Structure formats: structure tokens, C-alpha cells
Amino acid sequence: MISVIDYGAGNIQSVIKAFHHIGCEVQVTADREVIKASDAAILPGVGAFGDSMNCLKNAGLVQPVLDFIESGKPFLGICLGLQLLFEGSEESPGVRGLGVLEGKILRIPADRGLKVPHIGWNSLELRSQSGLFAGLEEDPYVYFVHSYYLHADDPSVVSSTTEYGVRIDASIQRGNLFATQFHPEKSGRIGLKMLQNFVARIDAD
């Protein structure tokens, strides 16, 4: 079973609908033992970095999330769920993230003639056509809603990038760990294919 981690800061309904569309059942839970027993887990997120970290802490889910990632089972962070995997964000100075990966979460510059937040469709430059991107055509279009973006310290974990005034590290992959700044659940046929690829990792692992 796939668990969608409910910590009070997630775009949960759209995620659930997308998985149902591809014929996959998911459970929404904040129960540590249920998460631990899951075959895969998803950390969605919308809103502010600091508020979301506080929600995770108040729900007692920081260590269960870290333990699940360490378990080697497939894990997917979406939007803010990607940012929380890193050490911190300019959005919430002094608030420590999960620190699974090293990198900076920076504000998209507002002085380059582009609207912030960035809302809309952008093409991805894929670093490889594996993992979430297996079977996709080059330069797929996906849907973004964000004001902050990732600049990863380790380029080897970056699986795709995009451009919006600056170069944005749009997704990461390290072993069983996947995360996207964009919303695959809102990215039409392309996004559904990515979710199918994620589900396929359960059997593969």
C-alpha cells in the first residue's frame, strides 16, 4: 500500500485522484506505524516552509519520514515536499528542514520581468530518461506553482531542470528517493506516467 502522509499541509485530494486515475489505491495517514508498514510513501506540500516543518514536528512525523527514506522503500516528495528534504529555505530563515540532502531553497528573483509566484507550464530538461522519467519524450511540459526553488549542492542528485528567470533544479533522485518541484498530479498525461513509474518502483525494489 502507498501512504500519502497527512501532516496538515498537503495538496492531498489532487494526489489521491491522480493515483485513482491510474488504478492505484492510496491511504491518507498520519499514523507512524502505518507509514512504516507502507510499500511506498508520498510527502505532498503547499504553503510556507516554516509552517510545514512545524506541522511535521507537531504531528510527530519528522523521524518517521526520515526512517522511511532510510528504509530504501520508494518515497516521493511533491512541491514543498521536495523543499522540505533540504536544510532550510530563504522563506523561513532559521527553520531547519529535514536535511536529507544538501542545497539551498531560494526565492525566485522578482526583478527579471517574470511573475512570482511562478504558476504555469514549463518544459523540463531531463538529465536521464529513467526513474520517474522512464518512457517520456524529451522536454516534457509539467505544471508548477511556487515562489521558491532548489539549487542543489550535489548536481548528481538532480534529475531535471527548468528555466524561469533562473535555472531551477526541478526534480531530484537518489536511490529510492524521488522529489519534484512541479506537480505531477496536475501535469496531465505526462504527470500520470511519472506516477505510474513511481508505482512500478515498488515491485522493482
pLDDT in tens, 80-117: 999 999 999 999 999 999 999 999 999 999 887 789 99
Q: What is the predicted pLDDT for the residue at 205? A: 62
Our answer to whether residue 79 is catalytic in this structure is yes
Told to judge if 185 belongs to the known catalytic residues of this protein, a careful annotator would answer: yes
* Of 181 and 46, the one with more pLDDT: 181
Q: Rounded to an integer, what distance in angstroms lies between the CA atom of residue 192 and that of residue 65?
A: 24
Q: Which of 79, 91, 118, 146 is catalytic?
A: 79
pTM score above 0.75? yes
The predicted model gives 143-170 an average pLDDT of: 97
Over pLDDT 70: what percentage of the chain? Answer: 98
Residue 57 to residue 40: CA distance in whole angstroms: 21
The CATH number of 2-204 is 3.40.50.880
Residue 47 has pLDDT above 90, yes or no: no
Output the pLDDT for position 46: 84
Task: Give one DSSP letter per residue of 120-182, joined into a string.
Answer: EEEE-EES-S-GGGTTPPSS-EEEEEESEEEEES-GGGEEEEEESSSEEEEEEEETTEEEESS
Query: Which one of 55, 91, 146, 185 is the catalytic residue?
Result: 185
Q: Where are the domains of the chain?
A: 2-204
Q: For 5-22, how does the pLDDT look when each residue is reduced to its tens digit (9 = 90+)?
A: 998 876 689 999 999 999
